[in-house]
């Protein structure tokens, strides 16, 4: 074998040696990167194909994973999603909404309140298909809740809330109180507590409307703000008043012991007089003592004795002073002062009646100082009969014993009151001579004229009188006075005691006459000067038919005057004169004509 050239051999096997040599680190990395890129490129191409396919398949649909109030609508077409929401959630549109205002809950009708649901708007809120691949990828593995889109008629909602506030939400504060129930027999009273309750007002209707609109539809109540007015009383305070005061007060009767009589307040009467007002968290108990007093007054009032004034009595020919006497009256304020303490005790429920001594308004000394010691003047008239005499006696009794003090004005009407049957008056002719229409109290003017003449002769001041329309010959000219007009209406008569001493009126009516005596201390001597009659007017002639006609010869009318002259009794000097002119009308001649 020929020898080989070593250099040639090396050249021929150089490539094999290189191929057979171990690879370097760099060559290995480059190899792996190449392979990864090839795989990634393949996957990316596959993802692009899949993304494009998914995008094309879901174009225009609701995004995957979307729910509305728990109802899945993802992946549905927009019309299908809206139809699904209407089917699944339409009940929310009419389901009443609970609104809580303070401690009051009310139900609100969404339809009537102007609340509604916007299905298309809700689907629109869900959005469009996202282009972000990652977002689309995540939608395969999760869900996204989309809220309902609502509509609201703001004015209708405010009107609804305003009505609910007026009828259901707003309320006045109720203060604690105590009431009473009485059993069927009326003997036992059961007090009970009226619990206090705060008042409240819907604070802001506009704000409440926004809260309702934002919270609807809701599973739970929607809270709206209210202004709260707390009561002044507390349940603990009211119950304490019931326990400590009211229950003991009505637990039994309270007895009142007076001098010679007693009365009992029943529990129902005590309860009826109690009232309550807030005080320091509890109730202040107020007692209507006037009401309690009325309940016991009938029994206890008999123990009172009125004071008797000293006065003059005419038992003989002269007036005598009858001494006054003190009386006693119940002092209700002092009697009831310990009432609450006694009524809240369980035993010893008894009160003693407290009396005040009442002194007479007129004492014996005062009567004696009036100087009623002698007859000042006296006058008598007669000619009355029958019912007229009865009426004159009645009015005379009403005036007998009256004392007119110095400077005082006497009124006949004020002392006698109205002339009525209940006062003892009867029907009689209006004029004391038996003429005129019959009236109750007819004829009493005879007493008035008699009194007037006694006053005239005593020199006392005339304070107002009216003469008869016709002259009656039983009285001096221009010295008569009436108490009745022709139609039966009343006319007052009055005089003033202008002397420094008192005047006592004594009256006596018997048979056909009546006498008035004035007692006191004489100060004047009186003269009377009467003018002649003048201005005569002949009487008219009247013809009457009927069985009750009474003929009359009539009298002419005329003018006349009287002058009273007063002299001071001690000095004899004249101290005054008064002239009174009177016009008497003619009295007609009455002819009774037979009826044909």
> Predicted confidence band at 51 (pLDDT cuts at 50, 70, 90)?
very low
Those residues with Cβ within 8 angstroms of residue 310's Cβ, 6 or more apart along the chain or in another chain: 321, 322, 323, 324, 360, 362, 363, 364, 366, 367
Those residues with Cβ within 8 angstroms of residue 316's Cβ, 6 or more apart along the chain or in another chain: none
pLDDT for res 156: 95
Asked whether 108 and 96 are in contact (CB, 8 A), the reply is: yes
Q: How many angstroms from the chain centroid is the CA of residue 220?
A: 45
How many angstroms separate the CA atoms of 462 and 493, rounded? 9
Question: Which is higher by pLDDT, 312 or 134?
Answer: 312
Instruction: Please report, for residues 188, 324, 448, 462, the alpha-carbon distance to residue 403 in angstroms, rounded to integers and kept in the order given.
Output: 56, 15, 17, 17
Percent of residues, the chain, with pLDDT higher than 70: 87
Asked whether 514 and 396 are in contact (CB, 8 A), the reply is: yes
**Between vectors from CA 515 to CA 513 and to CA 516, what angle results, nearest 5°?**
155
Asked whether 582 and 478 are in contact (CB, 8 A), the reply is: yes
pLDDT for res 220: 83
Domain parsing of the chain, residue ranges: 29-57, 66-161, 237-366, 370-593
How many angstroms separate the CA atoms of 396 and 309, rounded? 21
| Across 339-363, average pLDDT | 91
User: Is the pLDDT at 13 greater than 50, yes or no?
Assistant: no
475-514 core/surface letters (b: 16 or more CB in 10 A; e: else): bebbbbbbbbeeebeebebbbbbebebbbbbbbebeeebb
pLDDT for res 558: 97
Q: How many angstroms from the chain centroid is the CA of residue 68?
A: 60
pLDDT for res 50: 45
**Closest by CA position to 232, among listed 197, 191, 272, 180:** 197
Q: Kindly calculate the radius of gyration of the chain based on its CA atoms and give it in whole angstroms.
A: 59
Percent of residues, the chain, with pLDDT higher than 90: 66
pLDDT for res 24: 67
Can you read off the two tokens belonging to residue 484?
A: 């009745």
pLDDT for res 7: 53
3-state secondary structure 420-484: CHHHCCCEEECCCCCCCCEEECCCCHHHHHHHHHHHHHHCCEECCCCCCCCCCCCCCCCCCCCCE
Asked whether 503 and 520 are in contact (CB, 8 A), the reply is: yes
How many angstroms separate the CA atoms of 273 and 262, rounded? 20
Of the candidate ranges 82-86, 377-381, 480-484, 517-521, the one whose mean pLDDT is the lowest: 82-86
In the chain, what is the greatest distance between 2 CA atoms, to the nearest angstrom?
220
Asked whether 217 and 303 are in contact (CB, 8 A), the reply is: no
| Across 535-544, average pLDDT | 92
Can you read off the two tokens belonging to residue 501?
A: 């001493």
pLDDT for res 129: 57
Asked whether 460 and 429 are in contact (CB, 8 A), the reply is: no
What are the tens digits of pLDDT across the range 73-122?
888 888 898 899 999 889 988 999 999 999 899 999 999 999 999 998 88
**Closest by CA position to 446, among listed 400, 495, 379:** 379
CB atoms within 10 A of CB 123: 25
Can you read off the two tokens belonging to residue 536?
A: 């005569």
The distance in angstroms from the start CA to the end CA of the chain is 214
**Closest by CA position to 143, among listed 65, 74, 254, 199:** 65
Half-sphere exposure of 553 (CA within 13 A, CB side): 0
Strand intervals (E) in 111-172: 115-117, 144-145, 150-152
Can you read off the two tokens belonging to residue 81?
A: 């999603």
Can you read off the two tokens belonging to residue 36?
A: 């990864």
Hey, what CATH class is 237-366 in?
alpha beta
> Predicted confidence band at 584 (pLDDT cuts at 50, 70, 90)?
very high
Asked whether 71 and 62 are in contact (CB, 8 A), the reply is: no
> Per DSSP, what are the bridge partners of residue 563?
529, 579
User: Is the pLDDT at 347 greater than 90, yes or no?
Assistant: no
> Predicted confidence band at 49 (pLDDT cuts at 50, 70, 90)?
very low
**Closest by CA position to 519, among listed 431, 415, 416, 403:** 403
| Across 7-12, average pLDDT | 46
Can you read off the two tokens belonging to residue 137?
A: 């990828």
Asked whether 125 and 168 are in contact (CB, 8 A), the reply is: no
Those residues with Cβ within 8 angstroms of residue 15's Cβ, 6 or more apart along the chain or in another chain: none
How many angstroms separate the CA atoms of 422 and 119, rounded? 93
User: Is the pLDDT at 590 greater than 70, yes or no?
Assistant: yes
């Amino acid at each position: 074998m020929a020898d080989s050239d070593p250099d040639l051999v090396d050249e021929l096997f150089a490539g094999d040696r290189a191929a057979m040599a171990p690879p370097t680190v760099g060559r290995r990395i480059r190899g792996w990167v190449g392979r990864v890129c090839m795989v990634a490129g393949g996957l990316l191409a596959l993802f692009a194909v899949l993304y494009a396919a998914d995008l094309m398949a879901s174009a225009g649909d609701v995004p995957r994973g979307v729910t509305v109030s728990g109802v899945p609508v993802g992946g549905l077409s927009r019309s299908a999603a809206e139809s699904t929401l209407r089917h699944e959630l339409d009940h929310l549109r009419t389901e009443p909404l609970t609104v809580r205002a303070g401690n009051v809950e009310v139900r609100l009708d969404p339809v009537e309140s102007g609340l509604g649901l916007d299905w298309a708007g809700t689907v629109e809120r869900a959005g469009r298909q996202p282009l972000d691949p990652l977002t689309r990828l995540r939608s395969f593995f999760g869900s996204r809740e989309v809220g309902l889109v609502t509509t609201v008629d703001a004015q209708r909602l405010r009107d609804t809330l305003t009505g609910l506030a007026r009828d259901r939400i707003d309320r006045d504060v109720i203060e604690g109180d105590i009431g009473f129930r009485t059993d069927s027999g009326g003997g036992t009273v059961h007090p009970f507590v009226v619990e206090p309750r705060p008042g409240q007002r819907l604070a802001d209707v506009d704000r409440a409307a926004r809260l309702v609109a934002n919270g609807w539809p809701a599973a739970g109540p929607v809270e709206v703000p209210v202004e709260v007015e707390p009561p002044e009383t507390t349940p603990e305070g009211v119950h304490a008043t019931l326990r400590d005061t009211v229950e003991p007060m009505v637990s039994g009767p309270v007895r009142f012991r007076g001098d010679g009589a007693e009365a009992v307040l029943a529990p129902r009467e005590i309860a009826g007089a109690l009232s309550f007002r807030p005080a320091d968290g509890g109730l202040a108990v107020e007692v209507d003592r006037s009401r309690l007093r009325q309940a016991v007054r009938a029994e206890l009032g008999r123990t009172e004795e009125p004071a008797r004034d000293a006065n003059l009595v005419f038992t003989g020919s002269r007036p005598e002073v009858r001494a006054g006497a003190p009386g006693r009256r119940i002092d209700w304020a002092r009697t009831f002062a310990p009432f609450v303490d006694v009524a809240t005790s369980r035993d010893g429920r008894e009160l003693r009646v407290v009396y005040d001594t009442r002194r007479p308004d007129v004492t014996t000394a005062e009567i004696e100082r009036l100087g009623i010691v002698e007859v000042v003047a006296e006058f008598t008239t007669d000619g009355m009969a029958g019912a007229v005499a009865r009426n004159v006696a009645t009015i005379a009794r009403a005036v007998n014993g009256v004392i007119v003090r110095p400077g005082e004005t006497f009124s006949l009407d004020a002392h006698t009151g109205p002339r009525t049957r209940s006062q003892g008056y009867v029907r009689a002719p209006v004029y004391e001579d038996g003429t005129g229409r019959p009236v109750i109290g007819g004829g009493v003017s005879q007493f008035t004229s008699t009194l007037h003449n006694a006053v005239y002769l005593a020199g006392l001041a005339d304070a107002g009188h009216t003469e008869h329309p016709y002259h009656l010959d039983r009285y001096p000219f221009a010295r008569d006075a009436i108490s009745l007009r022709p139609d039966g209406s009343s006319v007052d008569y009055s005089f003033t005691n202008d002397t420094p001493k008192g005047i006592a009126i004594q009256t006596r009516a018997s048979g056909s006459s009546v006498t008035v005596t004035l007692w006191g201390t004489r100060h004047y001597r009186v003269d009377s000067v009467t003018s002649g009659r003048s201005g005569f007017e002949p009487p008219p002639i009247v013809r009457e038919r009927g069985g009750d006609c009474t003929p009359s010869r009539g009298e002419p009318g005329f003018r006349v005057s009287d002058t009273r002259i007063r002299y001071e009794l001690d000095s004899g000097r004249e101290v005054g004169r008064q002239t009174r002119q009177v016009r008497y009308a003619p009295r007609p001649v009455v002819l009774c004509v037979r009826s044909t």
